[in-house]
Structure 1
Amino acid sequence: MTAFRLAANELRRLTAGTMPKLAVAALVLVPLLYASFYLYANYDPYARLSKLPAALVTQDTGADGRNVGREVADTVAKSGSFEWHQVTAGEAQQGVRDGKYSFAITIPEDFSAALVSSGDFTPRQATIRLTTNDANNYLSHTIADKVAEQVRGTIAEKVGQEAANRFLIGFSTIYGKTREAATGAARLAEGAGRLTAGQRRLADGAGQLADGTTRLAGGLATLENSTASLPHDTRALADGAAQVSAGNDQVAARAAAVAKGSADLRRDLDNVDDQLAQRLRGAGMPETQVQQVLTQLPGLRAPVDNADARIQDDSAQLARLADGSRQVAAGAATLAQAAPALTNGIAQASDGAKTVASGAASLNDGEKQALAGTTDLADGANQLRDGLNAGLSQIPHPGDPARVATADTIADPVTIDNAGLSTAGTYGAGLAPFFISLATWIGAFVLFLLLRPLSTRALAAGISPSRVAVGGWLAPAVLGAAQVLVLFGAVTWLVGVPVAHPVAAIAFAVLASLTFTAIVHALNAMFGAIGKFLGLVLLVLQLVSAGGTFPWQTLPGPLYPLHIVLPMGYVVDGLRHLLYSGASLPSLTDAGVLCAYLAGALAVSAFAARRKRVWTMSALEPELSL
């Protein structure tokens, strides 16, 4: 008798009546009831959080003309994330205590004031009060923590954006003022340069002035020395000039008398011509000779006329000389009178020149110091201009769009780029691999409530233990495969869990069912009624070590070996890959591990069948029967 015949006989035995058929149908539906209903109930609870009642209390009194708490409350209430109820603090407290509200968020009175406290350099954190009650639901506390953190993050981003915006506007203001300062520094440097040039020219002029006043003082001192005898000399000159003037007056008077005599002589000579002509005619001289004599007379008078002309000219010159001498004498007298004042003025000028020379020397020294100072000023102004221009390029001065974008980035500097290689989509889909695995094990477990692991007739007939073992496993394997097909149909079509590769996922789930039925079959074949208990123990151990909800690495250390040794962890891992992404090396490894478990379980069943060929009293009358 073959293993397939043994399996067919066992299935016919189970379906020999109406109730057995219903029992088999119930066994096939057990995994469906466990997994599909659980996944349906928890498919996407986050999408229904809007039905969860929560209290929102706003006590903020505002600050600086703004009530941020009220703005936040209005935003939260309009979000629709929960069934928000804006109530008083007392109503919220009582509602959370009575279970009317799952949790409460309270914005206190000083919320806005705390947010703006940093502007007064008295910073303090704004507080959002979260009120929860684990007696209502533990997960409500966890959800409330997430909500409060999101609200806090939103407020922090908003406040940070405004603060960063003001900060950047301050930078723009600083940039503008620094640019004005740089422009002023450039003008200062230009003016300092011109001042330095002018100061240098002034210093040169001061040096020249010092040299000139020194020479002037020296010259005036020499002049003072040279004119010290000027009053005496001018007095002597005045006296001499007076004497010369008196002598010239006398000479002029005598010359005038001589000129008068010469003029009289000339008039007398004019009369002599007529008298001489008359006397010659009276003497009987012929007229011709008279005329000849008269003709000779002008030649004879010429020396007299010439002498008279010179005398008249000399007399005029002597008169002018006398006038000039008188003027010289008057001027010399005036000079003699002014000479003392002149010498005193020269002495005073000499003293003043010495004082000016001393002051000019001091001025020269001061101008040199001033030149050094203005040179330093020009250098400093140039350095200030260059430094301001260099610093100006390092001061941020974004425009309005760039400033807003920068403020947004400063307020929320990190974003998450979700580059998931695969995604489950919903909470239920995320738990599907774990609950499908559990349902498959439970399905394999309940099959042996009705099925016999080994055929006693086949054992008694001496059929090969391996055929008896495989035959005893094939019947529950077929029913387990049916369980998986029904379960997958309900999970994918009715519940809506997405499957990336349906064929590969169903094939892997069928392999898992075959493996689990083989393991439970081996336990029942080897240990009988105790094997059913061991199957339940293994279910519990795999429930806590498979890593179906949290990553298995978060398990306590002593449970690590259970995760590695027991098969359900491999089933969960393989289903995750096939449901979310597709076949990969880990999923192929998981399939290989399940095949190894399947072969090992069948070997154990064959060993148990070999042992059952020897009948013992404990086998005929077992101490425990389930």
Structure 2
Amino acid sequence: MKNSWKIFKTDIQNISRNWVAAILIGGLVFLPSLYAWLNIYASWDPYSQTDQLPVAIVNEDAGATVRGEQLNVGNELIDTLKNNQDMKWSFTSRKIAMEKVEYGDYFAVIIIPKNFSEKLASVVSDNPQKADIEYYVNEKINSIAPKITEKGATFIVQKVSSQFISSVNGVIFDLFNDLGIEIEKDLPDIQNFEDYVFKMEQDLPEIHHLLTGAQKDASSAQKIITQATSMLPRAEQITTEGLSSIERTIDFLTKAQNRLNEVAPQVKNDLEKVSKISKSTNEFLQSVQNVPLDFTELDRVKADLDSKMTSNIQTVDAISKDLNWLKEVSNSSNESSEETNNEEQQTRLDNAIDKTNELKSFLQEAQTNTRTIDTLVKDKEQQFQTTLNDLQQIAQNTSVQLDAFMNEYKNNIEPTVLSEVAKAKKTLGNAKEMLTSIQSTLPEVASTLNSADAHIKEGKTTLDQALAQYPYINDKVNQLADRIRKVQGETNINEIIQLLRNDPQAERSFFEEPIVLNENKLFPIANYGTGMTPFYTVLAIWVGCLLLISLLATDANHERNVSERSVYFGRLFTFSAIGLLQALIVTIGDIVLLGVDVKDSLWFILFGFLISFVFMSIVYTLVSVFGDVGKALAIIMLVLQIAGAGGTYPVVLLPEFFQTINPALPFTYAVDLMREAVGGIVWPRVIRDVSFLLLFSLAFLLFGTFLKEKINRKTKLMLKKSRESGLFH
């Protein structure tokens, strides 16, 4: 170790005494820092200059009409982009845009098609269609630019979508607000409807019963109408026959009335004649009583009396016949007029007929007595006188009865019969008018019956359909009632109304940005350059090691009789000292010159020292042990670590090969250690990273300590042989 320290002191003295060496070493100390600083500065905020990235916008939107209002989303988008500075938007035609994007003047072209607004407006139709935006990008210009322009295109789509959703939902919630007001006004009607549904549910069995009964009634009515229709011809026939009968009856009554008018004077004359005969007979009998009996004269008187009696009987008989005829006429008139018989009239006629018959009997008895006068005279004169007195008394009574009958006939019988006949004619006239009206109405009745039959058939069909649909309606009403009960149990319509009446503008704002990302950065990084500082700083330290072993010799040829191990550690001190200077400059420069926001600056510098020593022990050992082959190995390690250490991309995004070798790379732990200092230290991770770095360093130091001398013997032969080619130094 003493010799190693001596070699280190000699190297320091030589550098301080030789200004050329000092300048070269100074350059080697600062050069890695420049590598780190330039890369960090270049990546400091690469997206801050996207406003210089030319992107063409072509608006071909023709607009659309929605519910009478003109809509042109393309124009609205252009107005929005004119105030947007995220990219260098250029508004031009399709032809120019496509020519320039192919040439490379534009990185991308975004085209708003002609039917853009029309498809967006289809949201209110039965067939809504998604709107398209055409996006063209020239990916050969740059590998990163397409990702940036794609972000711009995504921004446009999101912006349009956000505004469209906001507008649509604004309209919807305006409608909801109006709907909430209307529902609140109609709340009593809604409650009544609910009650109506429940009432309907309750009444459905009764409705089914009524429908079934109506169906049966319709069938019965249809049968009745069919029967009535079939009976119409018979009704027409009966009406016609009735009219004919009434005509005949009226004719008969007219004739009877005329006959009565003709008979009435004759009856009066006959009655007067009978009365005169009766009086004459009475006078004759009185005169006979006072005349002495002369049988010769008696025979003459008897003959004359018998003749008069016969005439009176015939006259009375004629009167009786006339009265019977009047009775028949009266009965016929009453029956034809379809009225109740006039009992008083019938009684009077019957009394008259009885009195006539009684008078006839008296006359017949008188005639008989007259015919027996001769016998009585011969046998018993006294008895004759008595008989004559009886005959005279009968004749006197007959005369009195005839006078009473004549008065009865004139005052009651004749006026009553004439009145009843006139009344019967009037009744029959009314019946004729009624039957005539019925006869004229029968066609209308037939038409009405046919119409009613058709309507009943139609109604019956409707009832059949209603009954057929009853199970479906019953199920639906029950389901609706159950659903209303369920909704009533789960929701409150007043709460729904309150929800619908929310502020439409607030709801619109909500749907324009329904989710707000509350970002909580546990270890905030100021910018992209700060995030890349750990990787570029670690890379610069490794590059510094490569520069040192490329320009400085790893062997101390000026020292004699010194072991390979002493030389190994002596030059390791020199390389490590210069490496520490490199780490000091690059870490302080990151903080001071670039202004990197490092949370733990001291630990950042100290971690740089550790990493520099570890890297130097690795690179120096490779070159010290393997010579030029070691340099190649150091470069190969650099390449593998840039790609596989996860310095730029997360390890999980790397190919499987790099994910496999990642745990075996010093860069993995070095970059992670520097990130802890930049973002905020989590000490378990620091301990893990430091432990692995020290293990790497210890492994290479042990390798150089025990194998350098053995391996150098063989590498010197290989080096000598390679120099003979004249190609290697």
Give the TM-score normalised by structure 1.
0.67
Counterpart of 2:518 (choices 388, 410, 417) is 417
Matched residue, 1:557? 656
Matched residue, 2:534? 433
The answer to whether the 8 Å contact 2:64/2:118 transfers is: yes
The amino acid that maps onto 1:164 is N
Matched residue, 1:516? 615
Cα pair distance change 1:556/1:396, threshold 3 Å: farther
Matched residue, 2:546? 445
Relative to structure 2, which stretch is displaced further, 5-14 or 399-408? 399-408
Matched residue, 1:67? 72
Q: 1:173 deviation in Å?
A: 4.5
Question: Aligned partners of 2:718 and 2:551: how far apart in 1?
Answer: 19
Relative to structure 2, which stretch is displaced further, 497-506 or 513-522? 497-506
The answer to whether the 8 Å contact 1:77/1:84 transfers is: yes
The amino acid that maps onto 1:480 is G
Q: 1:540 deviation in Å?
A: 1.0
Q: 1:461 deviation in Å?
A: 2.9
The amino acid that maps onto 1:422 is F
Question: Aligned partners of 2:41 and 2:79: how far apart in 1?
Answer: 34
Question: Aligned partners of 1:85 and 1:531: how far apart in 2?
Answer: 55
1:108-147 maps to which residues of 2 (within 5 A)?
A: 108-147=113-152
Q: Helix, strand or coil: the match of 2:136?
A: strand
CA RMSD of aligned residues (A): 5.3
Q: 1:407 deviation in Å?
A: 3.8
Q: 1:419 deviation in Å?
A: 2.2
Cα pair distance change 1:131/1:459, threshold 3 Å: farther
Cα pair distance change 1:44/1:615, threshold 3 Å: closer
Matched, 1:532 2:669: no
Matched residue, 2:163? 158
Matched, 1:574 2:673: yes
Matched residue, 2:4? 3
The amino acid that maps onto 2:48 is A
Counterpart of 1:148 (choices 134, 137, 153) is 153
Matched residue, 1:471? 570
Question: Aligned partners of 1:535 and 1:80: how far apart in 2?
Answer: 46
Task: Give structure 2 stretches of 5+ with no counterpart.
Answer: 211-339, 350-415, 428-466, 468-472
Q: 1:531 deviation in Å?
A: 1.0
Question: Aligned partners of 1:131 and 1:552: how far apart in 2?
Answer: 32
Q: 1:590 deviation in Å?
A: 0.8
Cα pair distance change 1:114/1:620, threshold 3 Å: closer
The amino acid that maps onto 1:129 is E
Question: Aligned partners of 1:97 and 1:188: how far apart in 2?
Answer: 68
Question: Aligned partners of 1:438 and 1:188: how far apart in 2?
Answer: 79
The answer to whether the 8 Å contact 1:185/1:384 transfers is: no
Matched, 1:593 2:594: no
Q: 1:438 deviation in Å?
A: 1.1
Give the TM-score normalised by structure 2.
0.58
Cα pair distance change 1:496/1:458, threshold 3 Å: same
Cα pair distance change 1:45/1:233, threshold 3 Å: same
Matched residue, 1:47? 48
Cα pair distance change 1:438/1:185, threshold 3 Å: closer
The answer to whether the 8 Å contact 1:470/1:602 transfers is: no
Q: Helix, strand or coil: the match of 1:104?
A: strand
Cα pair distance change 1:499/1:562, threshold 3 Å: same
Query: Which deviations, in whole Å up to 9, do the C-alpha atoms of 1:469-516 show, x marking residues without a partner?
Result: 332211111111111111122222222221111111211121111000
Counterpart of 1:611 (choices 680, 699, 710) is 710
Q: 1:445 deviation in Å?
A: 1.0
Cα pair distance change 1:143/1:233, threshold 3 Å: same
The answer to whether the 8 Å contact 1:10/1:451 transfers is: no
Question: Aligned partners of 2:707 and 2:191: how far apart in 1?
Answer: 103
The amino acid that maps onto 2:71 is R
Q: Which has the larger radius of gyration?
A: 2
Query: Which deviations, in whole Å up to 9, do the C-alpha atoms of 1:588-607 show, x marking residues without a partner?
Result: 21111111111112112212
Q: 1:164 deviation in Å?
A: 2.1
Matched, 1:502 2:598: no
Cα pair distance change 1:155/1:396, threshold 3 Å: farther
Question: Aligned partners of 1:238 and 1:471: how far apart in 2?
Answer: 179
The answer to whether the 8 Å contact 2:64/2:117 transfers is: yes
Matched residue, 1:283? none
Matched, 1:486 2:590: no
The amino acid that maps onto 2:29 is V
Q: Helix, strand or coil: the match of 1:20?
A: helix
Matched residue, 1:298? none
1:142-541 maps to which residues of 2 (within 5 A)?
A: 142-179=147-184, 182-184=187-189, 186=191, 387=484, 390=488, 393=493, 395=496, 398=499, 402-456=503-557, 460-462=561-563, 465=565, 467-541=566-640
Q: 1:546 deviation in Å?
A: 0.9
Question: Aligned partners of 2:714 and 2:130: how far apart in 1?
Answer: 81
Q: 1:401 deviation in Å?
A: 5.6
The answer to whether the 8 Å contact 1:459/1:613 transfers is: no
The answer to whether the 8 Å contact 2:588/2:605 transfers is: no
Q: Helix, strand or coil: the match of 2:649?
A: coil
Task: Give structure 1 stretches of 5+ with no counterpart.
Answer: 204-229, 240-332, 345-372
The answer to whether the 8 Å contact 2:177/2:501 transfers is: no
Q: Helix, strand or coil: the match of 2:550?
A: coil
The amino acid that maps onto 1:595 is L
The answer to whether the 8 Å contact 1:578/1:587 transfers is: no
The answer to whether the 8 Å contact 2:55/2:149 transfers is: no
Cα pair distance change 1:611/1:459, threshold 3 Å: farther
Matched residue, 2:288? none
Relative to structure 2, which stretch is displaced further, 103-112 or 67-76? 103-112
The answer to whether the 8 Å contact 1:55/1:87 transfers is: yes
The answer to whether the 8 Å contact 2:63/2:117 transfers is: yes
Question: Aligned partners of 1:100 and 1:386: how far apart in 2?
Answer: 65
Query: Which deviations, in whole Å up to 9, do the C-alpha atoms of 1:237-289 show, x marking residues without a partner?
Result: 999xxxxxxxxxxxxxxxxxxxxxxxxxxxxxxxxxxxxxxxxxxxxxxxxxx
Cα pair distance change 1:600/1:122, threshold 3 Å: same
Question: Aligned partners of 1:396 and 1:403: how far apart in 2?
Answer: 14
Q: Helix, strand or coil: the match of 1:60?
A: coil
The answer to whether the 8 Å contact 1:178/1:392 transfers is: no
Q: 1:168 deviation in Å?
A: 3.1
Cα pair distance change 1:396/1:514, threshold 3 Å: farther
Matched residue, 1:95? 100
What is the number of residues matched between the two proteins? 502
Query: Which deviations, in whole Å up to 9, do the C-alpha atoms of 1:326-369 show, x marking residues without a partner?
Result: xxxxxxx9xxx9xx99xx9xxxxxxxxxxxxxxxxxxxxxxxxx
Matched residue, 2:110? 105
Question: Aligned partners of 2:521 and 2:112: how far apart in 1?
Answer: 36
Cα pair distance change 1:421/1:396, threshold 3 Å: farther
Cα pair distance change 1:412/1:188, threshold 3 Å: closer
Q: 1:386 deviation in Å?
A: 9.9
The answer to whether the 8 Å contact 2:61/2:74 transfers is: yes
Question: Aligned partners of 2:570 and 2:90: how far apart in 1?
Answer: 64
Q: 1:188 deviation in Å?
A: 6.8
Matched residue, 2:36? 35
Question: Aligned partners of 1:518 and 1:406: how far apart in 2?
Answer: 65
Query: Which deviations, in whole Å up to 9, do the C-alpha atoms of 1:395-443 show, x marking residues without a partner?
Result: 5664676433434444544443322312323222222221111111110
